[in-house]
Amino acid sequence: MANTAHLALTYLEAAQSQKHVTVNEALSALDTIVQLSVLDRDLAAPPGSPVEGDRYLVAASPTGAWAGQAGKIAAWQGGAWTFRTPRNGWKAWVADEAAFVFYDAGAWTHTFKARESDVAKAPLGARTSFRILEESHTLALAAASDTAIQIPDRAIVFGVTVRVQTAITGATSYNCGIAGEVNKYGGSLGVAAGSSNLGVTGPTAFYANTPIRFTAADGNFTGGVIRVAIHYLTLEASL
Protein backbone atom coordinates (compact mmCIF):
# COMPACT_ATOMS: atom_id res chain seq x y z
CA MET A 1 0.00 0.00 0.00
CA ALA A 2 1.12 3.58 -0.72
CA ASN A 3 1.74 6.06 2.08
CA THR A 4 1.61 9.85 2.35
CA ALA A 5 4.96 11.60 1.96
CA HIS A 6 5.33 13.28 5.34
CA LEU A 7 3.30 11.44 7.98
CA ALA A 8 3.39 7.98 6.33
CA LEU A 9 -0.38 7.61 6.56
CA THR A 10 -1.68 4.69 4.50
CA TYR A 11 -3.83 5.52 1.51
CA LEU A 12 -7.07 3.65 0.89
CA GLU A 13 -6.90 1.29 -2.08
CA ALA A 14 -9.65 0.74 -4.63
CA ALA A 15 -11.99 -2.08 -3.59
CA GLN A 16 -10.10 -2.44 -0.31
CA SER A 17 -11.81 -4.54 2.34
CA GLN A 18 -12.17 -3.30 5.93
CA LYS A 19 -11.42 0.28 4.95
CA HIS A 20 -12.30 1.42 8.45
CA VAL A 21 -9.10 -0.22 9.79
CA THR A 22 -6.87 1.92 7.56
CA VAL A 23 -8.88 5.06 8.29
CA ASN A 24 -8.81 4.49 12.05
CA GLU A 25 -5.04 3.90 11.99
CA ALA A 26 -4.57 7.20 10.16
CA LEU A 27 -6.81 9.02 12.64
CA SER A 28 -4.81 7.57 15.55
CA ALA A 29 -1.57 8.77 13.96
CA LEU A 30 -2.97 12.26 13.43
CA ASP A 31 -4.29 12.33 17.00
CA THR A 32 -0.74 11.65 18.20
CA ILE A 33 1.20 14.00 15.94
CA VAL A 34 -0.99 17.05 15.31
CA GLN A 35 -0.65 19.80 17.97
CA LEU A 36 2.02 17.65 19.63
CA SER A 37 2.10 18.05 23.42
CA VAL A 38 3.92 15.51 25.58
CA LEU A 39 4.07 14.99 29.32
CA ASP A 40 7.81 14.35 29.64
CA ARG A 41 10.98 13.79 27.60
CA ASP A 42 13.32 12.41 30.27
CA LEU A 43 11.87 8.93 30.82
CA ALA A 44 13.76 5.90 29.52
CA ALA A 45 11.13 3.42 30.81
CA PRO A 46 7.38 3.68 30.24
CA PRO A 47 5.27 4.97 33.16
CA GLY A 48 3.38 2.37 35.12
CA SER A 49 -0.20 3.62 34.75
CA PRO A 50 -0.62 5.58 31.51
CA VAL A 51 -3.95 7.16 30.58
CA GLU A 52 -5.44 6.88 27.10
CA GLY A 53 -3.83 9.52 24.89
CA ASP A 54 -0.75 10.14 27.08
CA ARG A 55 2.28 11.06 24.97
CA TYR A 56 6.01 11.12 25.72
CA LEU A 57 9.31 11.70 23.94
CA VAL A 58 11.36 8.58 24.59
CA ALA A 59 14.72 9.32 26.25
CA ALA A 60 18.07 7.71 25.40
CA SER A 61 18.72 4.01 26.14
CA PRO A 62 15.05 3.10 26.67
CA THR A 63 13.97 -0.14 28.32
CA GLY A 64 10.91 -2.34 28.60
CA ALA A 65 8.12 -1.64 26.12
CA TRP A 66 10.08 1.39 24.88
CA ALA A 67 13.28 -0.52 24.05
CA GLY A 68 14.75 0.54 20.72
CA GLN A 69 12.46 3.58 20.41
CA ALA A 70 14.81 6.40 21.57
CA GLY A 71 13.80 9.81 20.27
CA LYS A 72 10.40 8.66 19.04
CA ILE A 73 6.97 9.85 20.13
CA ALA A 74 5.34 7.24 22.37
CA ALA A 75 1.54 7.35 22.70
CA TRP A 76 -0.69 5.14 24.83
CA GLN A 77 -3.59 4.23 22.53
CA GLY A 78 -6.05 1.39 22.84
CA GLY A 79 -4.21 -0.20 25.75
CA ALA A 80 -0.79 -0.35 24.05
CA TRP A 81 2.17 1.87 23.19
CA THR A 82 2.43 3.14 19.62
CA PHE A 83 5.50 4.93 18.29
CA ARG A 84 5.87 7.66 15.68
CA THR A 85 9.14 8.74 14.12
CA PRO A 86 9.61 12.55 14.09
CA ARG A 87 11.13 14.49 11.22
CA ASN A 88 13.46 17.50 11.18
CA GLY A 89 11.64 20.70 12.06
CA TRP A 90 8.93 19.14 14.22
CA LYS A 91 8.29 20.78 17.57
CA ALA A 92 6.60 19.54 20.73
CA TRP A 93 5.33 21.19 23.90
CA VAL A 94 6.81 19.48 26.98
CA ALA A 95 4.31 19.99 29.79
CA ASP A 96 6.57 19.38 32.80
CA GLU A 97 9.10 21.95 31.49
CA ALA A 98 6.58 24.46 30.08
CA ALA A 99 8.79 24.63 27.00
CA PHE A 100 8.92 23.82 23.31
CA VAL A 101 11.54 21.41 21.99
CA PHE A 102 12.61 21.03 18.37
CA TYR A 103 13.66 17.92 16.45
CA ASP A 104 16.79 18.28 14.31
CA ALA A 105 19.50 15.93 13.03
CA GLY A 106 18.06 12.88 14.75
CA ALA A 107 17.43 14.35 18.22
CA TRP A 108 15.20 16.67 20.23
CA THR A 109 17.99 19.19 20.70
CA HIS A 110 16.73 22.71 21.34
CA THR A 111 14.52 24.00 24.10
CA PHE A 112 12.66 27.27 23.75
CA LYS A 113 10.93 29.29 26.44
CA ALA A 114 9.60 32.81 26.18
CA ARG A 115 8.61 35.00 29.11
CA GLU A 116 7.44 38.59 29.02
CA SER A 117 6.08 41.26 31.30
CA ASP A 118 4.65 44.65 30.36
CA VAL A 119 6.60 47.53 31.82
CA ALA A 120 4.13 50.06 30.48
CA LYS A 121 1.15 50.11 28.13
CA ALA A 122 -0.47 53.24 26.71
CA PRO A 123 -4.20 53.72 26.03
CA LEU A 124 -3.70 53.57 22.25
CA GLY A 125 -1.78 50.30 22.44
CA ALA A 126 1.89 51.31 22.53
CA ARG A 127 3.76 48.95 24.83
CA THR A 128 7.12 48.48 26.48
CA SER A 129 7.85 44.90 27.56
CA PHE A 130 10.70 43.15 29.32
CA ARG A 131 11.24 39.66 27.96
CA ILE A 132 13.41 36.58 28.43
CA LEU A 133 14.26 33.98 25.81
CA GLU A 134 15.63 30.68 27.14
CA GLU A 135 17.23 27.64 25.57
CA SER A 136 18.87 24.46 26.78
CA HIS A 137 21.62 24.41 24.17
CA THR A 138 23.50 21.24 23.19
CA LEU A 139 26.93 22.38 22.00
CA ALA A 140 27.92 21.63 18.43
CA LEU A 141 31.04 19.47 18.03
CA ALA A 142 33.08 22.41 16.77
CA ALA A 143 35.04 25.43 17.92
CA ALA A 144 31.91 27.58 18.02
CA SER A 145 28.22 26.85 18.57
CA ASP A 146 25.31 29.22 17.87
CA THR A 147 22.00 29.07 19.71
CA ALA A 148 18.65 28.44 18.04
CA ILE A 149 17.14 31.37 19.94
CA GLN A 150 18.16 34.80 18.68
CA ILE A 151 18.23 38.31 19.99
CA PRO A 152 15.26 39.81 18.11
CA ASP A 153 15.65 42.64 15.63
CA ARG A 154 15.06 45.99 17.42
CA ALA A 155 15.53 44.47 20.88
CA ILE A 156 17.44 46.31 23.61
CA VAL A 157 19.53 43.73 25.45
CA PHE A 158 20.55 44.12 29.10
CA GLY A 159 22.47 40.89 29.45
CA VAL A 160 22.82 37.17 28.75
CA THR A 161 22.98 34.62 31.57
CA VAL A 162 24.31 31.07 31.33
CA ARG A 163 24.53 27.94 33.45
CA VAL A 164 26.32 24.74 32.48
CA GLN A 165 23.72 21.99 32.69
CA THR A 166 25.97 19.12 31.53
CA ALA A 167 29.75 19.44 31.89
CA ILE A 168 31.49 20.84 28.82
CA THR A 169 34.23 18.68 27.32
CA GLY A 170 36.92 19.41 24.75
CA ALA A 171 37.56 22.96 25.99
CA THR A 172 39.34 24.34 29.05
CA SER A 173 36.87 27.27 29.19
CA TYR A 174 34.47 29.04 26.87
CA ASN A 175 33.31 32.49 25.84
CA CYS A 176 29.74 33.75 25.51
CA GLY A 177 28.96 36.46 23.01
CA ILE A 178 27.92 37.06 19.41
CA ALA A 179 29.70 36.86 16.06
CA GLY A 180 32.44 39.50 16.07
CA GLU A 181 32.28 39.93 19.87
CA VAL A 182 32.76 36.41 21.18
CA ASN A 183 33.19 37.42 24.85
CA LYS A 184 30.57 40.20 24.93
CA TYR A 185 28.62 38.39 27.68
CA GLY A 186 31.48 36.56 29.39
CA GLY A 187 34.98 35.25 28.79
CA SER A 188 37.00 32.30 30.13
CA LEU A 189 33.87 30.80 31.71
CA GLY A 190 33.91 27.57 33.72
CA VAL A 191 33.09 24.24 32.05
CA ALA A 192 32.01 22.22 35.11
CA ALA A 193 28.35 21.34 35.60
CA GLY A 194 26.66 24.08 37.63
CA SER A 195 29.05 26.85 36.56
CA SER A 196 27.18 30.05 35.78
CA ASN A 197 27.71 33.62 34.66
CA LEU A 198 25.65 36.81 34.66
CA GLY A 199 26.70 38.58 31.49
CA VAL A 200 25.45 42.07 32.28
CA THR A 201 26.05 44.84 29.75
CA GLY A 202 24.78 48.34 29.27
CA PRO A 203 21.53 48.48 27.27
CA THR A 204 22.49 47.52 23.70
CA ALA A 205 20.17 47.86 20.70
CA PHE A 206 20.26 45.19 17.98
CA TYR A 207 19.08 45.78 14.43
CA ALA A 208 19.08 42.20 13.14
CA ASN A 209 18.16 38.81 14.57
CA THR A 210 21.35 37.64 16.29
CA PRO A 211 22.13 34.24 17.86
CA ILE A 212 24.29 33.85 20.94
CA ARG A 213 27.65 32.26 20.12
CA PHE A 214 29.64 30.00 22.45
CA THR A 215 33.34 29.72 21.58
CA ALA A 216 35.65 27.01 22.93
CA ALA A 217 39.07 27.83 24.40
CA ASP A 218 42.06 25.57 23.63
CA GLY A 219 40.19 23.15 21.40
CA ASN A 220 36.78 22.20 20.06
CA PHE A 221 33.64 21.35 22.00
CA THR A 222 33.14 17.60 22.25
CA GLY A 223 30.10 17.68 24.53
CA GLY A 224 28.08 19.72 26.99
CA VAL A 225 24.77 21.48 27.48
CA ILE A 226 24.40 25.15 28.45
CA ARG A 227 21.22 26.82 29.63
CA VAL A 228 21.22 30.32 28.19
CA ALA A 229 18.81 33.22 28.71
CA ILE A 230 18.61 36.51 26.80
CA HIS A 231 17.22 39.38 28.90
CA TYR A 232 15.88 42.22 26.75
CA LEU A 233 13.40 45.05 26.27
CA THR A 234 11.02 45.49 23.33
CA LEU A 235 8.97 48.43 22.10
CA GLU A 236 5.65 48.21 20.26
CA ALA A 237 3.93 51.03 18.39
CA SER A 238 0.35 52.15 18.99
CA LEU A 239 -2.38 50.11 17.36
Pairwise pLDDT comparison (113 vs 229), residue with the higher score: 229
Q: How many CA atoms lie within 13 A of 45 on its CB side?
A: 4
Return the amino acid letter for 150. Answer: Q
Contacts of residue 15, Cβ cutoff 8 Å, sequence gap at least 6: none
pLDDT tens-digit readout, 164-219 = 999 999 999 999 999 999 999 999 999 999 999 999 998 999 999 999 999 999 99
* Edge-to-edge strand list for the sheet holding 144-151: 144-151, 210-217, 173-177
- The pLDDT score that the predictor gives to residue 8 is 61
What residues does each domain of the chain span? Answer: 105-236
pLDDT by residue (tens digit) across 70-91? 999 999 988 999 998 998 888 8
Mean pLDDT of 109-134: 82
The arithmetic mean of pLDDT across residues 95-112, rounded, is: 82
Architecture of the CATH domain 105-236: Sandwich (2.60)
Using the predicted structure, report yes or no on whether residue 4 has a pLDDT greater than 80: no
Question: Is the pTM above the cut of 0.85?
Answer: no
3-state secondary structure labels for all residues of the chain: CCECCCCCCECCCCCCCCHHHHHHHHHHHHHHHCCCEECCCCCCCCCCCCCCCCEEECCCCCCHHHCCCCCCEEEEECCEEEEECCCCCCEEEECCCCEEEEEECCEEEEEEEEEEEEEEECCCCCEEEEEEEEEEEECCCCCEEEEEEEECCCCEEEEEEEEEEEEEECCCEEEEEECCECCCCCCCECCCCCCEEEEEEEEEECCCCEEEEEEEECCCCCEEEEEEEEEEEEEECCC
Phi, psi values for residue 73, rounded to 5°:
-90, 120
**pLDDT, tens only, 12-54:** 666 667 766 666 676 666 756 777 999 999 999 999 999 999 9
List the beta bridge partners of residue 10. 3
